[in-house]
Structure 1
Amino acid sequence: MVGRAGAEARPPVALVTGASSGIGRATAEAFAAAGYRVAVNHRGSAAAAAALARTVGGRAYRADVADAGAVAAMVATVEGELGPIAVAVCNAGFYEEQPLAEVSDARWERMLRVHLGGCFHVARAVVPRMRARGEGSIVTVASELALVGGVGVAPYVAAKAAVIGLSRALARELAPLIRVNVVVPGPVDTPLLPDRDKTPAYARTVPLGRIGTPREIAAAIVHIAESRWTTGQVYSPNGGLVIQ
């Protein structure tokens, strides 16, 4: 467990962005099961986030990760109410499909601000605090599409690929005190997955014969967050869909 120095110590805190549903929700539950107090971040799903926070014994915090000031304020509030953040999981995001010619500047910029900017803002807010304490762990969440590309998803793929690059750069810069890794899920049964990828026919294209579950990705996130000799790594639980 990250950030716990003995039996009498307070439980460490995990901040999970985009935690009101899907992978984020499962990750909040997994960290709670591992003994963490969980800060459940959301942008607008107040009821779902509050219900989850009650379930996991944490608290809900509203902030748009694309807003640097909101993220900094959230981190300060979390540490004031729950305690020092030992693990930050940058999971908030959204998925859109649109041909390149139809992508507006606003949608392109929003995709980058949420995915890449969100990870940057969270890291910038937590790193000075983690450094002062002498340790910390950051896990970003990308997508297997960042490794293989896709049709009609250029902004999403570009943003997620940039998240991988950012994570690798931060791993170099922040070692040895802070570890930074990126989890790159394959197709997972969440509201973001297109319906066409939830069919038996699609599942047969996955070497392990099915799409993943949010709990499986959450388990990977907790594992790599707590792996003390791992940094700068791209961990891709994807059922064998991408083999590198």
Structure 2
Amino acid sequence: MNSQRVVVVTGGASGIGLGVSQLFARNGHPVAMLDVQEGALARESAALRDQGAKVLTHRVDVTDRAQVEAAYAAVRDNLGPIAIVIANAGISHAADFQTLPVETWQRMIDVNLTGVFHTIQPALPDMVAAKWGRIVTISSQAAQSGAQDRAHYAASKGGVIGLTRSLARELAALGITVNTIPPSVVDTPLAQESVRTGQFPSLDIISQAIPIARPGTPEDIAFACEYLCSDKASYVTGQEINVNGGMYI
């Protein structure tokens, strides 16, 4: 893979996004880490820069198109044209559908689905000009199998899968591939918080339902992103790459 391709990772300061940011940065790519967590952005980017990585950070709420566009302008000014986008930023929490407030539903859609739209669309001019681009969305196994008390989350991630497939068809002739990774259980701060608040059982208990009997790691997802964003995956588009330990087959 060309080590000078500029990579944008949303939700890039923790969990899956951090794992992706770290892998691409260590492979020599200029990486833009976009996130709402300013402290984590500062801490994690400093650690990568200490290792010699070229990293740009920007506080971005993906529901705000103006913030995304401002961040992309900074990326272009400081790193160059955007070649790879990992649309990872998202939220998740349990809620009973029968009493789900409209505002809670809308917030989930705004972050997890509309945020992906905001992340991808303004990056496309760079990819179209280069006749080369890689887009990976992070969806969820919940969209494939359904999820107890997370109908709003599963619906938002199902939308991401549908968007991914449609963009793969629309952009293929332009040299741009679009794929999605729907993880199952990944050991991230968000998952640990769900365990702490009683929304999930312990990860050890959940692992008993996974054929490869452990939760996934951010690195597991990052390695799949690495392949999908390489020249080796030039004939792979519109696919769901199920990095889930066999939990959904």
Report the TM-score, using the length of structure 2 for normalisation.
Answer: 0.91
Gap change, CA 1:99 and 1:40, over 3 Å in 2: same
8 Å Cα contact 1:50/1:59 also seen in 2? no
CA distances 1:191-242 after superposition (whole Å, capped 9, x unpaired): 2223244343321211111111111111111111222211111001111111
Matches within 5 A, 1:1-244: 1=1, 4=2, 11-43=4-36, 45-56=37-48, 57=53, 58-176=55-173, 177-193=175-191, 194-195=194-195, 196-226=200-230, 227-243=233-249
Please give the secondary structure, in 2, of the residue aligned with 1:175: helix
Residue 134 of structure 1 deviates from its aligned partner by: 1.3
Residue identity in the other structure for 2:238: G
Residue 59 of structure 1 deviates from its aligned partner by: 1.3
Distance in 2 between the 1:199 and 1:84 partners?
40
Aligned residues: 235
Residue identity in the other structure for 1:192: L
Please give the secondary structure, in 2, of the residue aligned with 1:39: strand
Q: Identity of counterpart residues, as a percentage?
A: 38
> Cα RMSD (Å) of the superposition?
1.3
8 Å Cα contact 1:38/1:53 also seen in 2? no
8 Å Cα contact 1:198/1:211 also seen in 2? no
Distance in 1 between the 2:86 and 2:72 partners?
12
Distance in 2 between the 1:197 and 1:13 partners?
38
Please give the secondary structure, in 1, of the residue aligned with 2:134: strand
Gap change, CA 1:186 and 1:174, over 3 Å in 2: same
Distance in 2 between the 1:116 and 1:206 partners?
27
**Which aligned segments of 4 or more residues in structure 1 are displaced greater than 2 angstroms?**
54-57, 196-202
Residue 79 of structure 1 deviates from its aligned partner by: 1.0
CA distances 1:159-192 after superposition (whole Å, capped 9, x unpaired): 0000000000000001131111101111010122
Residue 50 of structure 1 deviates from its aligned partner by: 1.6
Please give the secondary structure, in 2, of the residue aligned with 1:170: helix
Gap change, CA 1:73 and 1:156, over 3 Å in 2: same
Report the TM-score, using the length of structure 1 for normalisation.
Answer: 0.92
Distance in 2 between the 1:59 and 1:197 partners?
36
Distance in 2 between the 1:225 and 1:110 partners?
30
Distance in 2 between the 1:81 and 1:158 partners?
36
Distance in 1 between the 2:132 and 2:181 partners?
20
1:7 aligns to what? none
Distance in 2 between the 1:229 and 1:34 partners?
22
Please give the secondary structure, in 2, of the residue aligned with 1:179: strand
8 Å Cα contact 2:203/2:215 also seen in 1? no
